[in-house]
Amino acid sequence: MRRPLRWKSIAFQLTFGVSLIALVAVWFMLSGHFERSPFLFGAGILMLIMPVVVQLAWHYWQHQDGYSGSPLPVAHETDPIAETLFVELQRMGGPRLFRRSWLTGRYRPTHRRLTSGKLRYLLFSDDEHHLSQVSAFPSFFPLIGPLYLSDEDAETLRQAIGPRRKGGPGRNPLYNYTRASLSVFREVENRVLPNDNDRALREIEDRLLTWFEAHVDASGDMPRRDQVKPYAIEVFQALTSST
C-alpha cells in the first residue's frame, strides 16, 4: 500500500508546483505583461488542471468504475475481522459510516462503495492524513475529518464479529485488533527492530499489549499475550515484506 501512496504523493506535489508556475504565467499573459500566445495559454490551462487529473486518476485507481459490486483486492494481507466488518458495511440495509459536514454540522451517510475500495483499510486509521488518501466516492475529493457510526450500527458490527465470551478476556471491542495492528505498524515501521526474530516479535507483542492497555474499554478486559501473538506475526510479516 505504501508504494502507491508514495507515488501519488510525489505526483501531486510535482503537478501542484507546476500548476502554481502555470498560474503565474497565465496571469501575466492575461494582464498583458507577456504576449498572449494561444498555444502557451492552452498549455498553461492544461498545467493548471494537472493536480485535478492526478486526483481523478487516484480516485479511479482505488474505486475502478465504482459499481462492480464486489470488493477490490488490497495490496496486503487481509484481516478476517476487518473483512467481516466490511461485509456488514457493504450490505444493503446494513450499518452505515457517516461523515460530519463542516458547513452544517450534520451527519451524512457515506456511499457503501467506500468500504470496497483498494484503500478501505485506511478507514480504520486515526490519522486524518491517512484517511484523506481515500476519495469520498462517488466524489473524487478526499475524505476530510473522522468517520462515525450510530450506536445501533456499532452494536450490529460488534455482534457480527462474535459475542463476548463470559469471563474471557480479549473479546473484541469494535475494531480493536485491526486498529491496534495498524497503530503498531505505523509506530515501528521506521524503527529498527532487533535482528533476532523472536525478540522482534516479542517487542511487537509488547507494543500491542501497551496499545490495548491505553485503549481499554469500560469492561476492563484486555487480551492475553497469546491472543495478540497472531497479530504480532502479521505486523512482523508486513514489516519484513515492505523492506
- Position 178 scores a pLDDT of 74
- Position 163 scores a pLDDT of 47
- Position 202 scores a pLDDT of 92
Mean pLDDT, the chain, as a whole number?
Answer: 80
Cβ–Cβ contacts within 10 Å for residue 29, how many? Answer: 16
Residue 206 binned pLDDT confidence (cut-offs 50, 70, 90): very high
Q: Which residue has the higher pLDDT, 60 or 190?
A: 60
Average pLDDT over residues 41-45: 80
Convert the pLDDT of each residue in 13-26 to its tens digit: 888 888 888 888 88
Distance of CA 173 to the CA centre of its chain: 20
Average pLDDT over residues 38-48: 80
Q: Is the pLDDT of residue 170 over 60?
A: no
Q: Is the pLDDT of residue 28 over 80?
A: no
Place of cell 452505515: 96
- Position 33 scores a pLDDT of 67
Structural domain boundaries in the chain: 2-48, 80-152, 165-242
Helix, strand, coil percentages (3-state) for the chain, rounded to 5, are 55, 5, 40
**Residues 123 and 134: beta-carbon distance below 8 Å:** yes
Q: Tell me what percent of the residues of the chain surpass a pLDDT of 90.
A: 3
Convert the pLDDT of each residue in 69-78 to its tens digit: 578 888 778 8
Rg (CA), the chain: 22
Convert the pLDDT of each residue in 95-147 to its tens digit: 889 988 878 888 888 888 888 888 888 888 877 788 888 888 888 888 888 88
Average pLDDT over residues 25-45: 76
**Cα dihedral sign, 76-79-80-84:** negative
